[in-house]
Chains A and B, each alone.
Chain A
Amino acid sequence: MNRLAESSPDGREETVETPQQADRAVTIFEKSVPGRRACQLPAAGVDEVPLDELIPAGLLRDEPADLPEVSEPEIIRHYNRLSRRNFDLDTGFYPLGSCTMKYNPRLNERVAALPGHARLHPATEAADAQGALELMYMLQQSLGEICGLPHVSLQPSAGSQGELAGLLLTRAYHADRGRNPGKVLTPDTSHGTNPASVSMAGYEVVKVATDAQGGVDIGDLRAKVDRDVACLMLTNPNTLGVFDRNITEIASLVHEAGGLLYYDGANLNAIMGQCRPGDMGFDIVHVNLHKSFSQPHGGGGPGAGPIAVSDRVEPFIPRPQVVRVDDRERDDSDPSEHGRKPVYDLDFDRPKSIGRLRGFQGNFGVFVRSYAYILSLGSDGLAEASRTAVLNANYLMSRLAEGRSGRYLPVAFDRHCMHEFVLSGAPMKKDLGIKTLDLAKRLLDFGVHPPTVYFPLLVDEALMIEPVETEAKEQLDHFADAIEVILEEAEDDPAVAVGAPYTTPVRRLDEVGATRRPVIRQPS
């Protein structure tokens, strides 16, 4: 860790800028030079009719959009330079809790880019898109088996859209029974998207407390479950990284009151092939393909949030749904009609469906990657992935229970964790004068992405750590060692962490100023 010496706080005022820091941010718009260009378009090959003879002049644009005027080499250079100002998973450890930053296999990129997938228009007739529909059908089947629920809709674009879909399904399910309950229960440890989705679905959020073991407080749940509860949204293992042992009791409490159980699949990576939400009593599950199923996060998307549901919720799932047309049904069809009835088809005829959540069939490119991943790992590999994820998390937790981290960063719930765990930085803040934020920023100087911080809200100065199965033991050790060094230097001089980071392309940024005086585009 020689770089520590270089970034010593001594004489910080005169700290020499790294070359990257000296290279100030310049936008592509500022690099624009009139007359430069990159593209060469094909000739129209038809008459050069003046445009206002085709479209009334009043409907035409007067001034071109002020896009940059740059050559192709400049574009490549600009974005390659920008890319170097990003930390990424292919470069280093990324233990963001509840984000499941696992390796993104390059095979998946290769197969997703095959022209048969990548250039397939979404409105192609089903008979001409049999490969795509078969893939979607097989992915539906696979996710259904992993979740323990028989029906899957791939349509939701992300976990949060899966949540909203689940809540709209809940609404439709109750309405079909002539009911209109108004409340949705969520634990106080839930992801922020849960309550936001609840509001968008027109429900009222009711928080349920957490007990001393980190699970749902059964007494509080009992007090809040009534006929006005539409559903309970739960993550299990939850955001504290612990498995709720009372899950079957929780499920029956909610079911007895007529409510449904919704499973936030953000933490599915802990349990693949070990246990299944459907077997725990959940009616609706969303799965984050960009978490457990290796779709790259892309710096904030794309992902996909398919939902798996029980029989009683199935009539309401979004349309269209990919179906396998029964062989007998196909034989019965009049061959002279179209000559070819497809094996896989899109079923629009779903009268109780909540309808569409988005255009076309969903994020197919993500489905290709996740299906390739499921095929690669198989039943054995998926189970092994979850087992190793849990092993890694417990190992790292045990490493961090030693030495200074054990003293200053106690684990929030002292029991074996699942795939992630939560530490509290409260003693560190009190005894050393450095906050969780400072520790996070100092980690950046060690080439490590910090864990999720200040979440869950329940834990003071929280650090939520998810090491995933694709990290080697050495990497976990490096992380634990770095934390130890940071705490040691903080005992000596807390200012080191408080002033961190030192080696990143920019240092701490003024976020308050950015909100107070928003500059959210290049001035024209």
Chain B
Amino acid sequence: MAGYTPTTPADRAEMLEAIGVASIDELFEQIPEEVRLGRDLDLDRGRSESEVYDRLAGLAEANRLAESAPNFLGAGMYDHYVPAIVDAITQRSEFLTPYTPYQPEVSQGGLQVMFEFQTAMSELTGLPISNAGLYEGPSAAASAAYLAIAATGRSGLVASRGVHPHSRETLATHAAGFGARLTEVGLEDGLTDRRQLEQAIDEGTAAVFLQNPNFLGSVEDIATLGEYASARGALLVVAVDPMTLGVLRPPGECGADIAFGEGQPLGNRLDFGGPSFGFFCAREENMRRMPGRIAGETTDLDGRRGFVLTLQTREQHIRREKATSNICTAQALNALAALVHLCWLGRQGFVELGELLARRTAFARARLSAIEGLEPLHDAPVVREFAMRSSGRPVDRLLAAPDGAGPSLPVYPLGRDYPEFVDSFLVAITEQRSPDDIEWLATRLERAAA
């Protein structure tokens, strides 16, 4: 059994005596006999640290692909390089092990990080306010819906099918609780269908959800699409990939009322899907309806600059059933990782990275389009991910290892979420996917498509 418990038999005896009981069992007598377990849990007994390490390392090795081949999977989470300083900072006990900063006098580090994070996300999205982080991307969509319903007094939600399928499904799950109805708008040539969008929005629409780039990788004209929402008094909610905001026009400049997204590309490893963080930015009129934690600047009683959790009258521990959200997790450590990564990239590097992604993506799209049997699913502009259609072989055959036993080709089959695109797949590019890696993928696809 692991030695995480310092109590010795001598300590125990002394403590029991101070309590005035003969055994620990006596303390458990308040649990009625009929619900006591009365046996050991049916789990293995405790193991040594080295044995546990071996077991976990064995499981890690059973995951293929993690290291062995260039990975072109994206669909919301991307294999960006995480700089070494991110680990160095996030593994510090002072950031790793505290609770939520309830005692600001001894939590200035974490609170200032939140304040800086809010500033960075506000800069990225072009919206004036940001919270300190939410669980992750798709559930932030549900938070946006909850805010929009409260702000407009309406209950209709409209989402483009260009919005991540996980976000749309999460919205539908939550809509059952919110008493909201969700309408989806189709895609035309890789972009949100304008006519359908206009028809779907009415006087009962609380929020219109768009994504940029959309799930097929296309760069949408958010400003134009958004006009349909504002014309009907609905909030425009835009999901964005933060890594594209070095080059793409930020949602705040396209009329968005709320911008949210999956934060993983910033400083967070893939971790098979989490933990990461969601970001959530809005306009000032919705400040007191925001979900989640928010840090604010203030002064101490000697006049020193300091930071506190603020606008807490929105939150569950004060407002209970009238809270603007039940969320009390800011994914603070993941948000810190993002902040450090953004500082490392800096004002200039962040733009350079976006340009690098756009150029390599264009190169990869052209290279794959030259393969017989493959063509781009659409011609819309792309920035870091694109969709290819297989005109001949079914996608699962195309991606399966030639020997039938090796790992499949690491791209995302669109048929998982879109029956209409069962013949297509997504290819994601990061700064870690070199032109050589792209050539490796092209060669594999050439062989498979032939």
CB <8 Å contact, B101 and A387: no
Give A171 to B174 CA distance when docked, in angstroms.
11
Give the contacting residue for B262; candidates A111, A201, A272, A359; CB below 8 A: A359
A2 is an interface residue with CB less than 8 A from chain B: no
Give A116 to B123 CA distance when docked, in angstroms.
34
CB <8 Å contact, B37 and A388: no
Interface centre among A28, A47, A105, A245 (most CB of B within 10 A): A28
Give the contacting residue for B166; candidates A101, A356, A363; CB below 8 A: A356
CB <8 Å contact, B269 and A506: no
Q: Which of A3-11, A189-197, A326-334, A485-493 contacts B (4 or more CB under 8 A)?
A: A189-197
CB <8 Å contact, A391 and B7: yes
Give A363 to B275 CA distance when docked, in angstroms.
4
Kindly provide the distance from the CB of A189 to the nearest chain B CB, expressed in whole angstroms: 12
A222 is an interface residue with CB less than 8 A from chain B: no
CB <8 Å contact, A359 and B273: yes
Whether A72 touches B85, Cβ cut-off 8 Å, given contacts A54-B381, A116-B66, A473-B11, is yes
Interface centre among A91, A158, A201, A509 (most CB of B within 10 A): A509
B46 is an interface residue with CB less than 8 A from chain A: yes
A89 is an interface residue with CB less than 8 A from chain B: yes
Interface 0/1 of B121-165, CB less than 8 Å to A? 011100011101101111100000010000000000000000010
A242 is an interface residue with CB less than 8 A from chain B: yes
Within 8 A of A (CB), among B107-130: 107-110, 112-113, 115-116, 118-120, 122-124, 128-130
Residues of A contacting B85 with CB < 8 Å?
Answer: 38, 72, 75-76
Whether A41 touches B326, Cβ cut-off 8 Å, given contacts A60-B249, A72-B85, A121-B270, is no
Whether A360 touches B274, Cβ cut-off 8 Å, given contacts A39-B83, A123-B77, A471-B6, is yes
CB <8 Å contact, A360 and B166: yes
B117 to A, closest residue via Cβ: A521
CB <8 Å contact, B308 and A366: no
A403 is an interface residue with CB less than 8 A from chain B: no
CB <8 Å contact, B333 and A46: no
A276 is an interface residue with CB less than 8 A from chain B: yes
B75 is an interface residue with CB less than 8 A from chain A: yes
A21 is an interface residue with CB less than 8 A from chain B: yes
Kindly provide the distance from the CB of B199 to the nearest chain A CB, expressed in whole angstroms: 24
Q: Which of A62-70, A256-264, A425-433 contacts B (4 or more CB under 8 A)?
A: A62-70
Whether A115 touches B130, Cβ cut-off 8 Å, given contacts A49-B359, A67-B120, is no
A501 to B, closest residue via Cβ: B105
Kindly provide the distance from the CB of A204 to the nearest chain B CB, expressed in whole angstroms: 8
B372 is an interface residue with CB less than 8 A from chain A: no
CB <8 Å contact, A76 and B88: yes
Interface 0/1 of A347-359, CB less than 8 Å to B? 0000000111111
Kindly provide the distance from the CB of B109 to the nearest chain A CB, expressed in whole angstroms: 4
A324 is an interface residue with CB less than 8 A from chain B: no
Kindly provide the distance from the CB of A34 to the nearest chain B CB, expressed in whole angstroms: 8
Interface 0/1 of B67-82, CB less than 8 Å to A? 1000101111101000
B379 is an interface residue with CB less than 8 A from chain A: no
Instruction: Tell me how many residues of A have a C-beta within 8 Å of chain B.
Output: 206
A178 is an interface residue with CB less than 8 A from chain B: no
Residues of B contacting A90 with CB < 8 Å?
Answer: 93-94, 96-97
A253 is an interface residue with CB less than 8 A from chain B: no
Kindly provide the distance from the CB of B348 to the nearest chain A CB, expressed in whole angstroms: 6
Give A111 to B56 CA distance when docked, in angstroms.
6
Residues of A contacting B55 with CB < 8 Å?
Answer: 375
Residues of B contacting A362 with CB < 8 Å?
Answer: 273-274
A107 to B, closest residue via Cβ: B49
Kindly provide the distance from the CB of B17 to the nearest chain A CB, expressed in whole angstroms: 10
Residues of A contacting B273 with CB < 8 Å?
Answer: 122, 359-364
A76 to B, closest residue via Cβ: B85
Kindly provide the distance from the CB of A326 to the nearest chain B CB, expressed in whole angstroms: 20
Give A428 to B225 CA distance when docked, in angstroms.
62
B328 is an interface residue with CB less than 8 A from chain A: yes
Kindly provide the distance from the CB of A470 to the nearest chain B CB, expressed in whole angstroms: 5
CB <8 Å contact, B63 and A128: yes
A19 is an interface residue with CB less than 8 A from chain B: no
Kindly provide the distance from the CB of B14 to the nearest chain A CB, expressed in whole angstroms: 7
Residues of B contacting A242 with CB < 8 Å?
Answer: 30
B231 is an interface residue with CB less than 8 A from chain A: no
Whether A388 touches B5, Cβ cut-off 8 Å, given contacts A51-B355, A521-B115, is yes
Residues of A contacting B179 with CB < 8 Å?
Answer: 202
Give the contacting residue for A379; candidates B41, B129, B270, B345; CB below 8 A: B41
Give A28 to B344 CA distance when docked, in angstroms.
11
Main DSSP-derived SS at the A contact region: loop
Residues of A contacting B326 with CB < 8 Å?
Answer: 160-161, 163-164, 193, 196-197, 199-200
Residues of B contacting A416 with CB < 8 Å?
Answer: 19, 21, 26-27, 29-30
Within 8 A of A (CB), among B318-341: 318-323, 325-334, 336, 339-340
CB <8 Å contact, B299 and A360: no
Give the contacting residue for B112; candidates A82, A94, A358, A524; CB below 8 A: A82
Give A105 to B302 CA distance when docked, in angstroms.
39
Residues of B contacting A483 with CB < 8 Å?
Answer: none
B1 to A, closest residue via Cβ: A381
Kindly provide the distance from the CB of B143 to the nearest chain A CB, expressed in whole angstroms: 10
Within 8 A of B (CB), among A421-462: 440-441, 444, 449-450, 452, 455
Kindly provide the distance from the CB of A403 to the nearest chain B CB, expressed in whole angstroms: 13
Whether A48 touches B359, Cβ cut-off 8 Å, given contacts A122-B272, A301-B275, is yes
A101 to B, closest residue via Cβ: B99
Kindly provide the distance from the CB of B30 to the nearest chain A CB, expressed in whole angstroms: 5
Kindly provide the distance from the CB of A70 to the nearest chain B CB, expressed in whole angstroms: 6
CB <8 Å contact, B362 and A506: no
Give the contacting residue for B53; candidates A58, A107, A384, A521; CB below 8 A: A107
B216 is an interface residue with CB less than 8 A from chain A: no
Kindly provide the distance from the CB of A91 to the nearest chain B CB, expressed in whole angstroms: 7
A25 is an interface residue with CB less than 8 A from chain B: yes
Whether A116 touches B300, Cβ cut-off 8 Å, given contacts A125-B407, A192-B317, A509-B105, is no
CB <8 Å contact, B381 and A507: no
Within 8 A of A (CB), among B388-410: 396, 400, 404-405, 407-408, 410
A311 is an interface residue with CB less than 8 A from chain B: no
Whether A60 touches B318, Cβ cut-off 8 Å, given contacts A39-B83, A300-B332, is no
CB <8 Å contact, A380 and B118: no
Give the contacting residue for B115; candidates A160, A377, A522; CB below 8 A: A522
Residues of A contacting B421 with CB < 8 Å?
Answer: none
CB <8 Å contact, A46 and B363: yes
B299 to A, closest residue via Cβ: A510
A26 to B, closest residue via Cβ: B305
Q: Which of B201-209, B287-295, B441-449 contacts A (4 or more CB under 8 A)?
A: B287-295
Interface 0/1 of A513-524, CB less than 8 Å to B? 111001111101
CB <8 Å contact, B118 and A521: yes
Give the contacting residue for B404; candidates A75, A339, A371, A511; CB below 8 A: A339
CB <8 Å contact, A193 and B316: yes
Give A162 to B330 CA distance when docked, in angstroms.
16
CB <8 Å contact, A55 and B246: no
CB <8 Å contact, A120 and B272: yes
Residues of B contacting A274 with CB < 8 Å?
Answer: 28, 31, 36-37
Give A131 to B300 CA distance when docked, in angstroms.
51
CB <8 Å contact, A202 and B178: yes
- What 4 pairs between A and B have smallest CB-CB spacing? A116-B60, A131-B62, A122-B273, A360-B273
For the complex with contacts A377-B4, A385-B5, 16 further pairs of A-B residues with Cβ separation under 8 Å are: A37-B346, A44-B355, A51-B358, A60-B249, A89-B93, A122-B77, A298-B332, A301-B334, A358-B138, A358-B274, A375-B44, A391-B12, A394-B21, A501-B106, A506-B306, A507-B105
24 contacts between A and B (CB under 8 A): A41-B431, A60-B247, A61-B245, A65-B246, A86-B107, A90-B96, A102-B4, A114-B60, A115-B67, A118-B271, A123-B74, A128-B63, A161-B135, A200-B146, A205-B320, A272-B41, A302-B275, A357-B173, A359-B167, A360-B166, A365-B269, A381-B2, A387-B28, A416-B19
